[in-house]
Amino acid sequence: RCFPFEVEHSDGLRLGATLNFLHDEGFVCKQRTVTGTVGVNPLVSLLPKLRDADLLVLDLRSVSNLTGADYLRFSLLCGAALYDAMKHLAVNGKASIDELRRLCPESASDGQPEKSTERKG
């Protein structure tokens, strides 16, 4: 299934969207109903990058080893409070939901950035 994306967070080569947008598009599970373990496919690179004190950019990428073609190139913009949890997931490849919640401060309950995520320039 293709990720819905926002034009203002996409540059032609890499698509992107905020967590709010994906939620509004029905692309995000309700957080209170999620239990169990989250895993990242080993063919997908997950790279969390702090843009500033409020914004985390989570880059998702998958490239064919055979052809070099991109299968996935997407940036998810969310609150910086999710950084430790996403770094843990990137390093370990999987984690329980409870484990990820423990790594997030209470203020990260919705995963949204504190301020505007509009691109400048």
pLDDT in tens, 2-30: 777 877 888 877 889 998 899 899 887 76
Q: Is the pLDDT score of 56 beyond 60?
A: yes
Distance CA 42, CA 89 (A): 12
pLDDT tens-digit map of 61-75: 999 888 988 888 999
Average pLDDT over residues 20-48: 86
Evaluate if residue 121 carries a pLDDT over 50.
no
Q: 94-96 and 15-18: which strand pairing?
A: unpaired
Cα-based distances in Å from 19 to 26, 28, 74, 94: 11, 8, 12, 20
Give the three-class secondary structure for 114.
Answer: coil
Distance (Å) of CA 72 to CA 16, 32, 63: 11, 28, 7
Place of tokens 């843009």: 51
Residue 104 reports pLDDT greater than 70: yes
